[in-house]
Structure 1
């Protein structure tokens, strides 16, 4: 049996078990499907590690456990990055509002020092 046939056989025989394992650990079906696909991609790449005498189920569950851990780390990192971006955005918006108000105060003070005709010309062009 060649490599491609062996991969197809593993997928056909053990995909339901891996899906059940992942469904108990992940909240969304799309995540389950993605991680399951990752499991079988990894398994196909590392098929040479599976010896003929080895049982594929423990090997596939090990791969699934590692892929699940990687997936959960990526989610955690993405959530953390989102929190950092949200905090930075809020800080930037607060600073921008304060700075914008100060800029307007300074501009009005500068306008007040100009002669009326110059002030009117600037106000009409902005």
Structure 2
């Protein structure tokens, strides 16, 4: 028999004689049965890769438990990271979904109508700075104009938009909180 065949035969024996014990070990330490299967598969993958380092048969199960323990630790750390990420995503989604989007329809329509009445360059400059969060100098680069020209045009465009939407909360046409995202401070 070649050494490759002996190597495979030994691994098959190690796998067959230790799989049930490792699956039980992992199953008692995870919440989902599928996770236990993944842990055992990863454990045997490590064993296969390190088959030259496998201890004698009477010590192999303890060695496999040690490998499975480290695989479980990685699994739990990954689960904790996934939970934290999931919580951050839930908070962001809740923040976005918590308000009734239907209540904003009239304001959005008023803003869009006012934006449509602006000249195309002014409309694009306002949308780049307000909706895309660009600083005026960054919007200037996008539009191919100087930073000074962008700041001047932006100031005039905002004034014109305020006229079109309305500034007085008690006058029809006023739209509160729709375009009130804080424009980023420009770094100089």
Instruction: Give the structure-1-normalised TM-score.
Output: 0.71
Cα distance between partner residues in 2 of 1:52 and 1:21: 21
Counterpart residue number, 1:41: 45
Give the Å deviation of 1:69.
Answer: 0.9
- How far, CA to CA, are the matches of 2:34 and 2:86 in structure 1? 21
State how 1:13-28 maps to structure 2 within 5 Å. 13-28=17-32
Query: Which runs of 5 or more residues in structure 1 are unaligned?
Result: 114-126
- CA shift, 1:3, in A, is 2.3
Counterpart selection for 2:11 from 7, 10, 34: 7
Normalised by the length of structure 2, the TM-score is 0.50
How far 1:104 moved relative to its partner? 4.1
Q: Which has the higher relative contact order, 1 or 2, with Cα contacts under 8 A spaced 6 or more apart? A: 1
1:90 and 2:94 are equivalent in the alignment? yes
Q: Which has the larger radius of gyration?
A: 2
| Higher normalized helix content (fraction of residues) | 1
Aligned to 1:55: 59
Cα RMSD (Å): 3.1
